Structures are given as C-alpha cells and as structure tokens.
Structure 1
C-alpha cells in the first residue's frame, strides 16, 4: 500500500505472446476491480513476480533461454529499475522468491535452482550460485530431464523446498549462511509421471500441498520444520474433467486461504477454479466446488491482501478475472475482469 492509501496490483505477462510486460493496476477497495495505469516492457517475458514488502522491491524473472532476473523499486504506480537485469546461470526461470538477503529462482529449462545475493537497497548482485537438479521421469515429452518449477522457503525460514516437474520429486534444501549456496538435504519422490509443479503451505506450517501438472491431483504431505522432513500422506483429485474436446487438465497453482479453511487450485485445460474444503482437517482436503475460471488457461491464482477476493491470470484469453469469496461456504462468485494480454501472474502491494 502506498503513502496515499491506495493499493496496487502488479501483473506479469509474456511479451513473446503479445503481453505488455509488467502491468500496474489500481485496485478498487470496494469492488476489487483492477484499472491498468501503466506498464514496463522489460525484462522480456516476466512470467513470475515477487514483492518484498519489507524493502518495497518487486522482482521479476525473464523466462527466456538466457535467463535473467530484474528488480524494481515499487512506489504505487511507479516502477523504477534497480540496475540492469542479472543472469541466473540457468535457462527459462519460471519462479522466484526472497529468502533473507538472497533471491532464489527455479529454472525450468536447465533444471536448476539459483541463489543470488541482494544489495542493501534490494538490488540484485551476482554471480549466481547454481544447484543443478538431475534425473528424469516416464513422460518422454515432458520429463526427458529435470525441470525445476518452483523454489520456496518454508514458513520457519530454515529450509527451501523446490518442486521438479521432470523428476517427480520435491527437494528439501538448506541455504548456506556464508555464501548463500543451496544444498540438498533430502529428496522426496512422488507418483511417477505426475509432474509436481507448485506447492503451498497450510497456515499451521505443518502441512504441504503439492499440486501436479501432468495429473489433476494434489499430494498432501506432513512437514516437520525441525528436521526438514517431508512425508507424503495421500493424493486427492482436484478436477479431472479436462476441457472441450477432451483437452488435458493441467493444474497450475495451489492457494490456501489465510484462515486455513480452503485449498484452491487453478486448472488449465479444464479452465476451472477448484475449491477443496479443509474443515475435516488440514490433512484431509475434500473437493467441494468447481467454477469456471473466467477465461482460458489459468496460469496463476492469488488472493488479495484482505482474503475476500481471488484473482486469476488467464494466459490464453488475456485477462485477469476476480471473484468474491463467500465468507461462509468459500464459494467463489465472479466479480469482473480486465484485459491483460498473455497474463501470467499477479501480486499485490
């Protein structure tokens, strides 16, 4: 939130698909409506963004073969570059997160995870420390090698978890306090051919939900922060109907409500927003609702800071759609949408 009291949304999009880069939109507090007020077209293909609220710096991947990250001072509608983009030492970074004074990226193309130092002002320094994943899976088209898709610190700040679509596994890593390098402390194998894409923690910090891209399911895991142990417990379907003409259902992003009552997933192909109830317990998600996502190929799903609304970035239809969430039963109801060509992700100030 800026000094004038307004809130802002930052929307990443694929410039190679006609997107504007990073679009800045004003958020109407009453309706949740987004009004674009400007955009920056560099770096290329900023498909994932992360905002460090402590420093007010917005970070963006450049999902290209050369693989870079960029930093911006985010002051309301104004994005001011902090230096030039920095190479991550891997190709096609698809996700990034901040862990202390390090910026972490998951590099899908090269199957690696990178750690880069951050300057005092939030700018990015180099060179990157790179951890290479190894392995493959049974799908010859999608799993010919490792494809790191997400890198995320756990709530305790002691560990970093990385999902790998190509090797059907989640790696638990430690971040070296001296040089910022990542070291694998354990690797958990999941169902062969399932293609884990993204994960989300329950607010209690003791349960992890791993959403799979190649199968429309979520794996429920117990998480022990003290030891860094991840234990798969069960698999739950999220939406197996697929799309028109039998299009493959490809889940993208999970999101857990701040009150811990619901787990949601965006499902591409089916173009659906799936809701699972957690009221039977965090380890027992139960599918309860499936709604249209408001567009085509929902790549990202995020709640606004109030938790009263959900926003979906629909890549192929080129829009961001928002939903009002019923406070009692969690059912999402479409509120509206705004055109954002090749939309890929949304973050809020």
Structure 2
C-alpha cells in the first residue's frame, strides 16, 4: 500500500531496509519512470521497501524566486504518478531555508540512515544535495561505505537524439512541440485543477469556459490551444483553450480557460485535466471585443480540425524513438 510522508524526522519508515531514489521528479517523465522502476526491481530482489524522496517546492524554485521555474506538473500530479510506478513510500520534503542550510552529511545521517534505513541509494549523474550543493555521488559513496549502503548513478535516458530531461521537455512545450514532449513525458502534457467561477464574459460572448487558476504555479506555455478535457465525461471532450493573462480584458492573474465543444453543463467545483494537443497562436490584445470574438471563431474552427485529425491519448512511438542509455553505473 502506497504511503505519503511529509515529515523529514520521525520513526524509521523501513526497519527491514530500503532502496531509495532521490530527485525533483518534475513531470515524472520516461527517465524518472525508468529510475523508479529500477528501484522497485531492486527492492523486490532484496525484499526491502522501495522509497522515493522528493521536494516541494523543487530546489530550483526555492533558489530562483525572481525567475519562477515553469512546472511540468503539480505536487498532486507528481504524487499520483510516483504512486503509479509501484513505489511503496514517498517522502515529500518541504524545501525551505532550514533544509537548504542542512549539511550534506546531516542529510545522509538524518534522512537516508535514520529515517529510511537505506541499503541502496539511486541518483542521477548530476545530483547535488546539502548546503552549498556540496553533496554529490562521491560523498554518497564515501558515506555509504561507512554506514552500510550502496550509492548508484542511474543512466541518463534519450529517445532517439533527444535527452529525456525536464529542462528539454519545458523547451519543447514552449516551442509548441507537444507530440515530441509527450514522447519524453510518456503521456500528453496536461494541466489540472478545480473549475472556478470567472467573470462570465465568455458566456456573454457565446463561448462559456471552464476556468482553472494556476495560483503560484508557473506554466511552461501560454497562448491559444487545441485541447482535450478529461474528467467531464467517460471520454475526453474536444475544446479550444486560452492560457495567459487575457490582455484584451485587462487580466492580470494567469488563467486557463477551456471552451468545450457541444457541451452545456455546470462544472464548477469539479476537477478536470486539460490535455494540450497543439498550439494555435500566441495571446493577442484586440482593439474591440468584436474583433476578439471573430478570432475566437477562427480558433475554434481550427481546433476542431486539429483534434479531428489527431488520435486521443496516442502512446509514445517507442519504435521510432528507441530508448538509449548515455552513461553507465547501473547494477547488473
């Protein structure tokens, strides 16, 4: 049974020992899933618990507050996807000033040894931890020898010539390359949330929308999109969506607005997920509402064409983009 823990201190979670992986896991992409799968395999082989350690906010968000990191998923989405990978426990630590100031050696002793009883620790090749990013794989291996655990580097994945990394996926999404980004993620890019009340302007203009506030989350994309909306009916519903600040109506807060085709119902309070299929254009400020509606008419027509020509939830083409491992360091 999957367990979620947010407290870094407390009783040992795995008295019989554990196999642990550590990472930000933003988006839980194909490379993350492969790492989580390896941890599951090793835990089964050793009859131990499989544990993932992650952070919210992710460290890069904490240290670069003036330039917010575009997130590939919410904390809720990350938790759910890690659970789906068969991990027993997720220790989701709050990354704050105290954790940022914790020496690397203390992190190993308090978290990996006392809290998790780690026997194997898996990290990426560029993994750094502890105050001043002093901790690395060499320190992990040195402390592992002293405390009875092995530290291993998991190989970097690529699909064809594309590295499977969160930063690469953010760049692909920003460029509107949703199909390629979906291959690296292992699933289409989505933004989820609860439908909230808006200004009702869309309804007055003939385009009622389901609105999702992003809150503090920064999106890697903005503009007008052809999308599919999950969580309303048994199958995803086609829609056209706007993601941005709505300059024509003097918007300030980023908002995701989706107009569902051939749907008339009350979605307030319901959680939905918006799957992005194609970018139609950038956000634009119009001189009049009439000009904006004319453009929305064209956007809706284009979105219908795009969605009719695409297959919903198409799996990544693994044959066309074989997985390649760039580095060594995995257990035999």
TM-score, length-scaled by structure 2: 0.27
Identify the structure with the greater helix proportion. 2
Structure number, greater radius of gyration = 2
Identify the structure with the greater strand proportion. 1
